[in-house]
Structure 1
Amino acid sequence: MQKSSTKARSSMEKGLSSRRNCEGGYPRGNNPNQPIYQTPKVSCFLEALLVLENTHSLSLSLSLSLSLSNHFGLKMEAVSVAKKRILCLHGFRTSGSFLKKQISKWDPSIFAHFELDFPDGIYPAGGKSEIEGIFPPPYFEWFQFNKDFTEYTNLEACIDYLCNYITTNGPFHGFLGFSQGASLSALLLGYQAQGKILKEHPPITLFVSISGSKFRDPTICEAAYRDVIKVRSVHFVGEKDWLKLPSEELAAAFEDPLIIRHPQGHTVPRLDEEAVGKVCSWIRHGVVLQSGINGASAEIEHENTSEGETKQKESEVKEAVAMEKMEAEAVAMPS
């Protein structure tokens, strides 16, 4: 990461130095009718921003954007950093639209810095859906399996489809999945870590699992979970979920997982203020600052963080969430 950051900064600085063409830096131009984006100053600024397209780190992009805006004397409001993308995979015999509706229950501040993509599974539901009468069809499934979840049909075709989708529509920064979608997402992460798939795609660095589980085929387990998966992950585990224990087993396959428990069953849970604060903190510290939360443990506790540091972080997150809500309300108010 440090090497890529240095390389990107060096590229940016080289580009900037080669374009200095007057004592005052970058002239605005002599033509008052010239479009602002064609003036030498802004044109050079936009060219320098192209460096950001090759940075997969949100923190590095923000840092370079700040440097560029200061260098050119432009307001930060003019700097647009593309949102990182998260691929969201729905559960068995539901749909991308249904998962989107489920996630809409969460505080919007959680994924404020991301663009969420909700594709449908590639196979029409082969039987009754549990959400019939609750949410309109059509319904889809990613692959089929037996009742013991040890034999799978169309799994390889599904993996090929998703790898092509990710390559074509990416890059993606993270995965989010519910039930079958979470199990599939974790499998893709394990395979990528082993160099089996997505070799040309930047490493996926973030995973949100809701009621996920590991595959039980020994051959798949040996390939996907042979080593601890070093991807930052948060796992939502329901006390009444029939996949409670499998969800915990999946979390154990990841390095330093953050586990958030809730009293509900097999569903995308509603999050209280404490859970929202913890997830926002996990997102911000891991993605914006590129530093993982040390010692994340069950029931959203951090064993390696002092009580004072934890309270301070929670206070900062709550203030940030409150500020974002105030700004959103202000924008929504009629003028």
Structure 2
Amino acid sequence: MIKFLIEKEFKQLLRNSFLPKLILIFPCMIMLLMPWAVNMEIKNIRLNIVDNDHSAVSQRLVNKIAASTYFHLTEVPASYEEGLRNIELGTADIVMEIPRHLERDWMNGRDAHILVAANSVNGTKGGLGSSYLTAIINGYASELRSERPEAVSVSGIIPSIRIDTQGLFNPNLNYKLYMIPALMAMLLTLICGFLPALNVVSEKEVGTIEQINVTPVPKFTFILAKLLPYWIVGFIVLTLCFVLAWLLYGIVPVGHFSMIYLLVIFFVLVMSGFGLVISNYSATMQQSMFVMFFFMLILMLMSGLFTPISSMPEWAQAITVFNPLKYFIEAMRMVYLKGSGLVDLLPEIGILSLFAVFFNSWAVISYRKSR
């Protein structure tokens, strides 16, 4: 029975002169235009400072950075390696290491070297964050020179503080490498959310759904037949996006493609289930489109797609916990830029599976064969 229902769904999809074109053209337009058009504001950069000197000079530098509106000093790790682990875990954006004997070297007229490592998964945030930090350190060095003019080397050269910056995961600070995985997630959200909703409501308007309702097809089988075609559509759209990202921008994931397809299995179930829930409560296509558009705007604006979640107010950050798109975008970026594997992705996969069970159970329960 399920085989014939799925066959019906595909015939109905291909018979529509508009939808197959939309499935192919929409990803192409998004992948062509959006990477050039999007931008984001930088705020609340999470900073870890490793102070190996513990002197008055280093403490003043730490206080000066902490007083900046750009940075949020989240932790003072014991070692530089611990700070790098915090970057890998996503709890820090930048790690700064103050070397031993910073004050002594400065007073003896020797240059001091400060190491800055930035998480360049988000190239804009990593690059600008490093620039802000460099400006603060250079300003502090000028302040020290004016306070202690006697700190001059034997050759008469005034010592300086040199900063070595290292970008992690995205060393060239390529913003497209950060945005393209999120744009793929946005495409899957729109296509796999809207199409199932519009499909069911269009059948309501035409009246063909009544022919299904009078058959002994169980509600679960009906919902499953509606989900599976768009599961396949999601894989087709994602594969097309992979090809376009490679051909247009030379971007391929650092991690394995299988990890991304595994994530898509769960995410398409989430969005298709959400679309079917909306269709069960909508009587017309116009009504379902307005409701879907309302929720899609919220999902995309509060997912970290355009604006970093860390830059949002606390009440907005609390709401993003219930946004499945947030977890999918984070997981896509982890695979694309960090090369994350299955163990790293288990939290996101677990949360997406819970969303999938919730929305699809709701879709089955809310679907009524008799009205």
TM-score, with normalisation over the residues of structure 1?
0.22
Larger relative contact order, structure 1 or 2 (CA cutoff 8 Å, min sep 6):
2
* Higher share of residues assigned strand: 1
Q: Which has the larger radius of gyration?
A: 2
